[in-house]
Amino acid sequence: MAYDFLGLVNDINRRLNEVALTTANFANTTGYYSFAKEAVNSSIRHINQEEFEWPWNHVEEDLTLTASVSRYPYNVDTKTINFNTFRIKRNSTFGNDTVKLKVLSYEEYLDRFVDNEYNSSSTVEGLPEYIVRAPSREFILVPTPDKAYELVYEYYRLEYDLILDVDVPSLPESYRHVIIDGAMYYVHQFRGDTQQAQLSMTKFRDGIKYLRSLHTNRTDYVRDLRVRF
């Protein structure tokens, strides 16, 4: 069975001995079948809301900067940005090496560089050195870029609902069973089978614990950043 919205809904149908849907009737479902589709999306939402930084939601973004523009909005699908990943990519035309940007707090930015946004002089422009998280879902570059440098950074995107029968979840196919266990909880609730719903929820929670143990339970080593002579 294909790993897409139709395939996931039919996984539920097989478990409940219901007639499988097809590409011809998938879009016009009613009653139980409509709820089965919603149950799949509810399960995926639940999984994605358990952690901010599931690896399947990771995105590496390339952004071409605009000269004399210091503020840039987040992408619309951004959940959280790792501000320690911002770097300017090497460019032989502009003559710059790859530079990792240092994180500057918004308060310190206001104390030290706030006039840069209102100063049209080229003296405040150059190769960015700092990245600032603004409270308005924007980030600010300091100094203001003087050329169309290529900025690279990493973020985690928001989950999305499946709509079309061929839509594919962001979760890898190997975790298909976790999606189905969660969806079965919602379907059993819909049918009023509280006992089976609780059993499905137990399996679902165990599946999420398994995902967390694989992908988020990690101990990073400690770096000594003191200057060595």
What is the reported pLDDT for 224?
63
- Residue appearing with tokens 């990943």: 85
With a pLDDT cut of 90, the percent of the chain lying above it is 86
Grade residue 172 by pLDDT with cuts at 50, 70 and 90: very high
Q: Mapping DSSP to helix (H, G, I), strand (E, B) and coil, where does residue 194 land? A: helix
pLDDT per position as a tens digit, 84-103: 999 999 999 999 999 999 99
Query: What's the pLDDT at 182?
Result: 97
Question: Does 63 have pLDDT greater than 90?
Answer: yes
pLDDT at 52: 86
Phi and psi angles of residue 138, each rounded to the nearest 5 degrees, phi first: -130, 160
User: pLDDT by residue (tens digit) across 192-203?
Assistant: 999 999 999 999
pLDDT in the model for residue 120? 81
Instruction: Identify which of 11, 6, 10 has the alpha carbon closest to the alpha carbon of residue 177.
Output: 11
Residue given tokens 């809301």 in the structure block:
49
What is the reported pTM?
Answer: 0.83
CA angle 34, 21, 198 (to 5 degrees): 55
Binned at pLDDT 50, 70 and 90, residue 206 comes out as: very high
Structure confidence at residue 114 (pLDDT): 86
Domain ranges in the chain? 5-53+171-214, 55-157
Helix (H) or strand (E) holding 183: helix 176-191
**What single DSSP character describes residue 227?**
P
Among the listed ranges 52-56, 70-74, 105-109, which one has the minimum average pLDDT value?
52-56
Report the pLDDT value the prediction gives residue 145, as an integer from 0 to 100. 96
pLDDT digits (tens, 9 = 90+) for 116-161: 888 888 888 999 999 999 999 999 999 999 999 999 999 999 989 9
**What secondary structure does DSSP assign to 51-119, as a single string?**
-S--GGGEEEEEEE--TT--EEEPPTTEEEEEEEEEEEPPBTTTTB--EEPEEE-HHHHHHHHGGGGG-
pLDDT at 226: 67
Instruction: Give residue 23's pLDDT band: very low, low, confident or very high (50, 70, 90).
Output: very high
pLDDT at 217: 61
